[in-house]
Amino acid sequence: MSRQELDNKTGSGLRAAIEFGVDSDVVALEHAWRAAQQTLLSQRGPEGYWPGHLSSSALSTATATMALDEARKLNVGSGPQQEERRKQCESGWHWLTQSQNPDGGWGDTTLSLSNISTTSLVWAALPSDDPRFAAANNAAEKGLLRAVNQSLGTQETVLIPGDLATAIGRRYGKDHTFSVPILTALALRGRLGFGPAAWKLIPQLPFELAAFPRAWYAKLRLRVVSYALPALIAIGLVRFANYRNWNLASNALRQMVKQRVLRILHEIQPASGGFLEATPLTSFVTLGLLRAGMSASPVVDAGLAFLENSRREDGSWPIDTNLATWATTLSLGALREPTSSDKIVALSRDEKNELRTWLLGQQYRSIHPFTQAAPGGWAWTNLSGGVPDSDDTPGAMLALGLLANPTDPEVRVAAKRGALWLLGTQNRDGGMPTFCRGWGQLPFDRSSADLTAHALRAWKRWYPELDSRSQTLVEQAAKRGVNYLLKQQQATGAWVPLWFGNQYLAEEENPVYGTSRVLLSWVATRDLQRAEWDAAALRAWRWLLDQQNSDGGWGGGRSFDSTVVREMPTTIEETGLALESLAECYVALKRHAEQQPLLDATQRALLAGGKRLLELTDNGTRFPASPIGFYFAKLWYFETTYPMVFALNALRGLLRALREGSTGTNSGVVE
């Protein structure tokens, strides 16, 4: 291929291409980018948006079958309903036996490592008196024994209920959001023994506090996170129904408010019946009420209907119904042209208008009944169980900037609402929580680096379109956000996120995800001209380069000790995340001679990473997903849209670096 032909294909940028490597690399990346773009476009639903597809979940399937089986045993519903529930349970149990890992345990997805929580729930869900599931039950019990011994440093030969309860509690620490519902489910299925001895192993969730005004919740220091109010009520009620403590005053108070908190639970249940559209949470609530003697509650009817309707044909349940809003905003960002940061030519004007209207329709215009969140935010889904949050709101704001002219009055109003919603959610420490400001220090309520970085990018995008007062507020909030990020940076240079983990790292965290997201926010906010912000970004940049695996890709990070460097398995998702942010950083500082060693190292990393990404995706045509989700508390999923989006962003970034890297302008960033 001649240089002229290469220029025609890649739209100038020849000089940069030669600096990076051979001409054929550019052509291969271009072809892969176009192929990946077509694959992503093909995933749109008939309504024009991206519904996505979440992995089936052993944890969801276990909890759903427990709730449906309990309803069947208690004769809740008609005869035909009972027969259908029996069939659904058996289908779910068969799916579980087919998804068991070789070590006898279960992970949250079919690609996940076994963990004590999911394995214990499946063990409780499978009927112990049915010979069809005896082998899976026995293997699960042995797997749990190994996990408990490993967790507690013991060498028991039988599974002791108290040890199992201690090990599960240790996994979640002070956060009772997930540990107490798990232990409750085990007790209800007879896996912690019987009678008072079993219930003594389970902390009493103070469901009576749900009767207090919502404004008091932060001061009450509940040991569950904001989204878990339904579990606080239902799981608290079932424990109270089965075991009373010695405190007569608290028992009297709980008895007095039972009906009141049950009404509150009914009021916050969405139309779909699924709390947060999440199978585990809805299952725990339904199971708890059934065994608390409240099977006549409309919450139970709606919860059972949600579970019955969300079951898949293969007998499994996903962790959540869909992430349609999140998947759509991510997809729109990935469809940007390499020559522009805000241009999408792959969609027609009509298609963009349809998506604009759809996305505007997902913005909440009133106080949310569940979290009492103010109007102006977006949730992850277009379904009734969604709750506005600090990751989907910036995502929607950025996507609207790609779909319409920023002077579009309706879009400007929506973006301003979103910007102000984020301002109202920002914590005192300058960081962004997920759902609610100032609720507590448990996961999803405390501030996190990835959400804060996303908010900074959204504020930056819409700052010029805001009125002067809102601009002042955003400027102040952005400075607080950067200060928060500076304080949260680890000594290594990395940032740890909240929402996406890596199952292979010891703490199940994913610093590659967190660091890559913060670096993108730095690129967007370099005009702050803060030496500390620049220095932090350069440390993070070098750290991210150091995490590259020997095959050219990235996992969640690398583990270092005095003698060994342990590489995490390379994935499309994490390779794409790292390449996108490194490419953006490279373009931002290309003309800074004082950074030449760093830029040279980045060139080499981008070339090697690009080649590895082409191998992983079969030149942009195949996108196997990996577990990268970190949801609720140590709960995993994967989403088929993620590898497409993250790979496409990386390919776009690589092409942009090739085309624009040699013509960048001085940004004023200094060492």
Find out whether 144 and 119 touch, Cβ atoms under 8 Å: yes
Secondary structure (3-state) at 266: helix
| Segment (H or E) for 283 | helix 279-291
Find out whether 146 and 161 touch, Cβ atoms under 8 Å: no
Find out whether 181 and 283 touch, Cβ atoms under 8 Å: no
Give pLDDT, residue 260: 94
Residues in the chain: 671
Domain boundaries, the chain: 56-318
> Tokens in use for 392?
């989907």
Burial 435-469 (b: 16+ CB within 10 A, else e): bbbbbbebbbbbbbbbbbbbbbbbbbbbeebbeee
Secondary structure (3-state) at 442: coil
Q: Cβ atoms within 10 A of the Cβ of 242, count? A: 18
565-567 and 558-560 beta bridge pairing: antiparallel
Task: For residue 54, give every residue at least 6 positions away whose Cβ sits within 8 Å of its Cβ, in sequence order, or none.
Answer: 318, 319, 320, 322, 323, 637, 638, 639
Q: Which amino acid is at 31?
A: H
How many Å apart are CA 65 and CA 610, to the nearest integer?
A: 44
Q: Tell me which residue has tokens 């207090």.
A: 212
Tell me the helices (H) and strands (E) count for the chain, helix number first. Answer: 26, 4
Give pLDDT, residue 570: 97
Q: Phi first, then psi: give them for residue 320, nearest 5 degrees.
A: -150, 160
Q: Cβ atoms within 10 A of the Cβ of 171, count? A: 18
Distance of CA 527 to the CA centre of its chain: 30
317-318 and 56-57 beta bridge pairing: antiparallel
How many Å apart are CA 272 and CA 567, to the nearest integer?
A: 43
Find out whether 50 and 641 touch, Cβ atoms under 8 Å: yes
| Segment (H or E) for 159 | none
Q: Phi first, then psi: give them for residue 493, nearest 5 degrees.
A: 110, -10
Secondary structure (3-state) at 508: coil
Q: Which CATH class is domain 56-318?
A: mainly alpha
Secondary structure (3-state) at 482: helix
Q: Which amino acid is at 143?
A: G
Q: Tell me which residue has tokens 């408990």.
A: 148
Nearest to 126 by CA among 89, 173, 150, 93: 93
Q: Phi first, then psi: give them for residue 249, nearest 5 degrees.
A: -65, -45
Find out whether 146 and 140 touch, Cβ atoms under 8 Å: no
The whole-number mean pLDDT for each consecutive block of 10 residues of the chain, a chain of 671 residues, reads 38 42 75 97 96 96 98 93 95 97 94 94 94 94 95 94 95 86 96 93 90 64 63 94 85 91 94 96 97 96 97 96 97 93 92 97 92 92 96 98 92 97 95 80 75 98 96 96 97 93 86 97 88 96 97 88 80 98 94 87 95 97 89 75 98 89 40 36
How many Å apart are CA 623 and CA 642, to the nearest integer?
A: 9
Give pLDDT, residue 214: 64
**DSSP calls for 606-653:** HHHHHHHHHHHTTTTT-------B-BTTTB---BTHHHHHHHHHHHHH
How many Å apart are CA 249 and CA 588, to the nearest integer?
A: 64
Find out whether 399 and 332 touch, Cβ atoms under 8 Å: yes
| Secondary structure percentages of the chain, helix, strand, coil, to 5 | 60, 5, 35
Give pLDDT, residue 210: 85
Find out whether 149 and 90 touch, Cβ atoms under 8 Å: no
How many Å apart are CA 248 and CA 254, to the nearest integer?
A: 10
> Tokens in use for 615?
């191998």
Task: For residue 18, give every residue at least 6 positions away whose Cβ sits within 8 Å of its Cβ, in sequence order, or none.
Answer: none
Q: Kindly list the distances between the CA atom of residue 361 and the CA atoms of 84, 364, 414, in Å, as whole numbers in the listed order.
A: 36, 8, 10
> Tokens in use for 323?
């992430």
| Segment (H or E) for 559 | strand 558-560
